[in-house]
A and B are shown apart, each in its own frame.
Chain A
């Protein structure tokens, strides 16, 4: 369960001040798939950064599993991110010169997972995105869709409870994008991962249990489909 309460975020100072988020509140049940939708510049990425502890809001609460992460010290927030959160970015951010395996290994190293357990976790993650045969390849030799699958494998390798995806299909053609989407929802269903997708693709948004609409830093509408609460 993620509860976002009265979040406000201001960028810059004095004359350059810009109110990116204003009094944003909502809650996301565990295991749900959520789309944050809105026009460019509406504050979607900012919201995602704040929710994941990457950035600090000026006011409000982010309560994840009864813990207000804004109260935690930097070190604890880093640890929380390493253990509980997976990230997928629009422009992949895979390390081109590193091997596929080393890319996926990074979150495990950061979370100080034992060496002995790593290999198995890496293999499982790569198999679930169907990239196991490329394990020894350099990341730069992969196609765009494969890179994003690699990014997904990296996001899920440490079995996080929450996966954030910022425009995960934005850089892909629609056929490849569809495959990535299927993969994400499969993860959501099978592993009970809370999936939070930032997107302006309404088709993708429709596939989610819940949509949070944002305009100019404010939540304008929250709608749910199916039997989701």
Chain B
């Protein structure tokens, strides 16, 4: 019998048992629904992560650190016994191995490196705004990244690749709410003061005696007071809220030079002076960042390329997706028994038909094919129903999800793709065929005379 004829007959016999066919394929549809959503969520998350990374990190960038735990590999972030290193830096009460000035120099001297920017840790005790006198605020402060150009709602930013001036600061839009500032145009150009403090040096006994003798008690008070510095900047621009840009939304941007000065001021006289937890380096265009990465890693640095970071994010996405897929597969396994059961009953019900077909000269192989194709049809139907349902539900839910978890307009967490859906449906047809194997074999082996005797 020709394949097309077998397929047609298979389709017709399913049509004759509509309810049963539908119910059996609904079991598969549950699996298909789950798998389609899992695939869509995975794809959506990957695209979203991709977007975040590409709008935050130059593809030629290298993140360089000394401490493995910063990338979540080996060793925990806190606690535990760790080897002391003179070259370590403290951040938020945690100690990390840091890159020393000579490490930074080594990176700078690499022939394929275009530019090196250490991550300056600037923390101001408080910040005051000219337009909001008598109020003190705290905020994160970071160096302005010349490779990322956020949109602005007031003021202007220099051309791509150019730094802002050393006395300038870029303020994120979200701060305006806290500051209760209505007129953002007037805000541009107004003053911002960063107040920095660093603890005084610990005084030795001899130093204390000396100060006591020369300056008395007030002198000693003066000497043990924290050293402070005020940096006056003016607002250059207000950056627009952006969901894909990580830093733009919650930190003040200052120029790289200012950041370096402030960082140096904060760490002066400590072991952390001019040592950095992380350094960002830009690889010259046309050079594969991975080759530079391998070179630097030989010197005990831990280097991640933009691709690596993407991989890091993807690992998490893939893991979660894997779990959901697992549930989908479980649903499918359950539905396999549904198909076996349905097809088995179908064979019993149709012994007479099978007997007739065999009596008319139909080969056992073709009879088996007939039943296998029926099972494949069930798989196809279930796959299509589930995928369409998932697509419909997903499309309806997407705007709501985006709003609820604040992904930002135009970003959807469920991204449905055509090819994976087709692959899924084909796989489900194969699952159907596998499930139909045993009933089909039973049909093929039926003795036609025996079958024709049943009335």
Contacts and interface: CB of A to CB of B under 8 A. Distances in A.
Interface in B226-249: none
Nearest to A108: B5
A102 B12 contact: yes
A81 B361 contact: yes
B363 interface: yes
B111 interface: no
B449 interface: yes
Contacts of A98: 12, 16
A229 interface: no
A97 B448 contact: no
Interface stretch (B36-44, B61-69, B274-282, B351-359): B351-359
A109 B8 CA distance: 11
A106 B363 CA distance: 13
B361 A82 contact: yes
A49 interface: yes
B2 interface: yes
Contact of B448 (A54, A109, A111): A54
A80 B2 contact: no
A87 B359 contact: yes
Interface stretch (A57-65, A88-96, A173-181, A203-211): A88-96
Nearest to B17: A97
A55 interface: yes
Contacts of B353: 95
B357 A78 contact: no
Contact of A82 (B2, B16, B360, B452): B360
| A: contact size bracket | 20 to 34
**Chain B's interface: helix, strand, loop or mixed, by majority?**
helix
A91 to B, nearest CB: 6
A79 B361 contact: yes
A112 interface: yes
Given A75-B363, A82-B362, A109 B1 contact: yes
B455 interface: yes
A49 B360 contact: no
Given A54-B449, A95-B353, A81 B2 contact: no
B357 A110 contact: yes
A112 B352 contact: no
Contacts of B366: 110
A89 B452 contact: yes
Contact of B1 (A83, A102, A110): A110
B455 A91 contact: yes
Nearest to A164: B359
A112 B357 contact: no
A97 B17 CA distance: 10
A71 B353 CA distance: 28
A110 B362 contact: yes
Contacts of B448: 54
Nearest to B366: A110
A93 B352 contact: yes
A78 B352 contact: no
A157 to B, nearest CB: 11
A55 B452 contact: no
Contact of A106 (B13, B16, B360, B449): B360
Contact of A83 (B358, B361, B452): B361
A110 B1 CA distance: 5
Contact of A93 (B1, B356, B449): B356
Interface in B379-437: none
A211 B452 CA distance: 25
A205 B362 CA distance: 31
Contacts of B359: 54, 81, 87
Interface string B356-378: 11111111001000000000000
Contacts of A97: 13, 16
Contacts of B357: 106, 110
Please name the 10 residue pairs, one residue from A and one from B, whose CB atoms are nearest each other, closest first. Answer: A82-B361, A81-B361, A97-B16, A109-B5, A78-B361, A110-B362, A93-B356, A107-B360, A110-B361, A110-B360
7 contacts: A78-B363, A93-B352, A93-B452, A97-B16, A106-B357, A109-B1, A110-B366
